[in-house]
Structure 1
Amino acid sequence: MNAISSSLASIIHTENAVVPWENLEPAQQQPIQLAMNPKSNPSCIVYPHTQAELSGVITTADANKWSILPCGNMSKINWGGLSRNIDIVVSTKRINKLIEHAVGDLTITVEAGMKFCEVQAILAKSGQILAIDPAFPADATIGGVVSTADTGSLRQRYGGIRDQLLGITFIRADGKIAKAGGRVVKNVAGYDLMKLFTGAYGTLGIISQLTFRVYPQLETSATVLLTGKAEAISQAATILQGSELTPTKADLLSNQLVSNLGLGNGNGLIIQFQSINESVKEQSNIILTVGEKLGLESAIYQDEDETNLWQQLPEKIHSSVNNSEISCKIGVLPTAAMEVINQIKLGLIHLNSGLGLVRLENQDQVLALRRLCEANSGFLTMLSAPVEVKERLDIWGYSGNALPIMQGIKKQFDGNLILSPGRFLGGI
């Protein structure tokens, strides 16, 4: 066992909590290598079991200026920038307890290492949901979902993660445990650390506990899919946006995504309605009628077929950690969403926000689509990609003027620059 591993093993006495790099199987090393500069390997991976143990690990790392790559279950460890010269990988997957589920207050507090699917299973027993649908829901930890701001299509009705997060506990770079927010649904004055940590990729602190607002599980659900010519899909989307209908999800689909899923030809507009039974039937029929008038093919999905369809959409886009293709998050003006989706082979765009996911094959496609997004007041950020591609290209594609502010915040939270160095934009 190397010196760093030995030092950390004296803090965490549980068996197999500190694993030296050389003891990891190649299959365990590979996801980590896709998140790092390939010129060096970490000394070990550490699995604290409590927030106190996590605090002890970070305190020791800060005192020795050991750099840390935080992660949960590694389902998204290859998203974002390549971290530099990592000494320790710290996983929160074993810090995974339910702290409190206040059913009547519609809140839940869990430790960051709990899997997203496990949170939903707990809530389902009380007829409630966490209104997020991230990538890799069976594997992703709730802390990782927040750190990558991975909301999904439910943004249409419920907003982003920042809108649902009520409280956060995190370990500062100096090892101290800090808290912000609370366990009740209310507005608070002051600096909003929940919003700051959402999408920060572990560069400001390591999230250890989270409190969310939750929502009642609605009685009935149905999804309407319209497919056909781009112009008609655009008209259907405009009619939906100008109507009084209340979809839970609404996404524009590229023609190749429609084809790959065996859903027909042309572009797609997929809309989910969730409410009481009568409302879902009425709203679905209205959209079906719109599709018929515009000459679009239509289908309606419910129950297991509906669940499977929504699961397949992101699976067709997101690369696994072993894949050589490139997945990206994009954003454009919602008014330009149809124009942009027509230029994408494999992807989707959330109708109201203009945010979307795409899968690309090479860096030329990345640069071309980035130019198109920027021309429509948007952006393109690479999520997963081969290391050599991330070394050549600007991963974040940020051209705004807020980088000095971000660097100042990073310095304030992490003076020794030990947390996820290089993973965020501007090398933060």
Structure 2
Amino acid sequence: TADTGSLRQRYGGVRDQILGITFIRADGEIAKAGGRVVKNVAGYDLMKLFTGAYGTLGIISQVTLRVYPIPETSGTVLLTGKPEAVSSAVRILQSSELTPTQVDLLSSKLVTSLALGTGIGLITRFQSIHESVEQQSKRLLAIGEKLGLQGVIYQGVEESNLWQQLPNKIYDHLTESTITCKIGVLPTAAVEIINQINIGLIHVSSGLGLVRLENPDQILPVRNLCQANSGFLTILSAPVELKQRFDVWGYNGNGLEVMRGIKEQFDANLILSPGRFVGGI
């Protein structure tokens, strides 16, 4: 699915971590791409092609992933307040020497529903040796205070619970009528977008995010808002009849013919997940 989370800030997306794959082709033959270690990776980069193809090109049977050591210490700074001040904090953070592993923007309703404060939120996580985490956390907290933002530092179990609560709140108490969506916008427009969303979050580095909509009438306005900022809105979960009314993917790019050509090469008889992908591929 190529799905990714806040850690993309530091490590990149899933496709960036795959060194090699073994997959079953549409004709039943087993094929391989990449290798088991970085220096042995060669040939066509099918790993990136298959990541996010939703099983339409082949059945992945084995994956070799790049791994990283677990950081010694972790600390999270949460800043809340007015959009203008949060926007300034984001710009300062991105131009500074600080090295966060996760940075997300939180909608005001998500902030208040978790009793984290008022206004929109900027949540930033640092993971490294103890001294570095402590220094960077205090530095960002000071930046926020100068901008008039309320700031709190979270550590330990309290910090872990906070990061788990964010996506859980979006998916919490899902019913047949609940609508959850994945969005993407220009990172430079992220603060403006999150300020117009009820419940949601956006990853600062990529502009990707999750939103929860309360009724179908919100889908098109939010999709139009994203598309106006060079982005998209894809419906993840919704009632079946609603998915039949709307274009779930919301794709308006110019790559459909290329995608269909690739599908033709890998699965000419449309055996693998037919109609599962963008444009009915």
Q: Normalising to structure 1: TM-score of the pair? A: 0.64
Taking the aligned partners of 1:343 and 1:299, their CA distance within structure 2 comes to 24
The secondary structure found in structure 2 opposite 1:258 is: helix
The secondary structure found in structure 1 opposite 2:110 is: helix
Any residues of structure 2 matched to 1:160-239 within 5 Å, and which? Answer: 160-186=13-39, 188-239=41-92
Q: Deviations over 1:350-373 (max 9, x none)?
A: 111111111112232111111111
The secondary structure found in structure 1 opposite 2:96 is: coil
Taking the aligned partners of 2:124 and 2:97, their CA distance within structure 1 comes to 14
Taking the aligned partners of 2:39 and 2:190, their CA distance within structure 1 comes to 34
Could you tell me which residue of structure 1 aligns to residue 265 of structure 2? 412
The secondary structure found in structure 2 opposite 1:419 is: coil
Maintained 8 Å contact 2:19/2:41: no
Higher CA-based Rg: 1
Tell me the amino acid that sits aligned with residue 207 of structure 1.
I
Aligned-pair Cα RMSD in Å: 1.5
Which of 4, 9, 15 pairs up with 1:156?
A: 9
* CA shift for structure 1 position 168: 0.8
Q: Deviations over 1:325-354 (max 9, x none)?
A: 111111111111111111111111111111
Could you tell me which residue of structure 1 aligns to residue 128 of structure 2? 275
Taking the aligned partners of 2:121 and 2:174, their CA distance within structure 1 comes to 28
Taking the aligned partners of 1:397 and 1:366, their CA distance within structure 2 comes to 10
Q: Deviations over 1:40-82 (max 9, x none)?
A: xxxxxxxxxxxxxxxxxxxxxxxxxxxxxxxxxxxxxxxxxxx
Taking the aligned partners of 1:205 and 1:322, their CA distance within structure 2 comes to 32
Taking the aligned partners of 2:85 and 2:211, their CA distance within structure 1 comes to 22
State yes or no: 1:308 paired with 2:161: yes
Maintained 8 Å contact 1:226/1:298: yes
Q: Normalising to structure 2: TM-score of the pair? A: 0.96
Tell me the amino acid that sits aligned with residue 291 of structure 1.
G
Taking the aligned partners of 1:217 and 1:205, their CA distance within structure 2 comes to 32
The secondary structure found in structure 2 opposite 1:418 is: coil
Moved over 3 A (4+): 186-190, 318-323
* CA shift for structure 1 position 254: 0.3
> Is the deviation greater in 185-194 or in 303-312?
185-194
> Is the deviation greater in 183-192 or in 340-349?
183-192
Maintained 8 Å contact 2:34/2:43: no
Tell me the amino acid that sits aligned with residue 124 of structure 2.
I
Which of 213, 235, 243 pairs up with 2:96?
A: 243
* CA shift for structure 1 position 319: 6.5
Unaligned 5+ segments in structure 2 are: none
